[in-house]
Amino acid sequence: MYKYFGTMADMGVIAEGETLEEAFREAARALTDLMVDINTVERKVRKKITVKSEDLYSLLYDFLTEILIIRDSEGIVFSDFDIKIERDKENDGYSLECIAYGEELNRKKHTPKEEVKAITYHKMEIEEKDGRYTIKYIVDI
């Protein structure tokens, strides 16, 4: 589940999940749904995304930024994500491996919604409470 909250030139996202991976998945799905109607994006393309970062906040930022980079450089939008997150004890950080499913962006099929320019660290939160994970982040639109 995900929902949005508004600010001046930004949009906030709240994503929830039973696991950290599920919350990251919902955060990524919310990002796509901000840009185009996610229900119109089919699973025609499969793309591997790998991110390593020093903490969970950087991992989320880097992962979501990679989704924007793929949209801008390859013209692909995603509708679903299989995510695995592991603690990298050797390097004192985290790694994320994801298979993202989507298709090439087609402006006739995928009606543009918001133009997401960037992910921000501003007011970013990743919280675990009572066995549920909640992620909050803000995008620059």
**Which amino acids are annotated as binding site for Ca(2+), given as ranges?**
10, 140-141
Best CA proximity match to 24, nearest among 131, 116, 135:
135
Contact criterion met (CB below 8 Å) for 94 and 52: yes
Which residues carry a binding-site annotation? 10, 140-141
Q: Which regions of the chain does DSSP assign to beta strands (E)?
A: 2-6, 10-17, 45-53, 76-88, 93-104, 118-129, 132-140
DSSP state at residue 130 = T
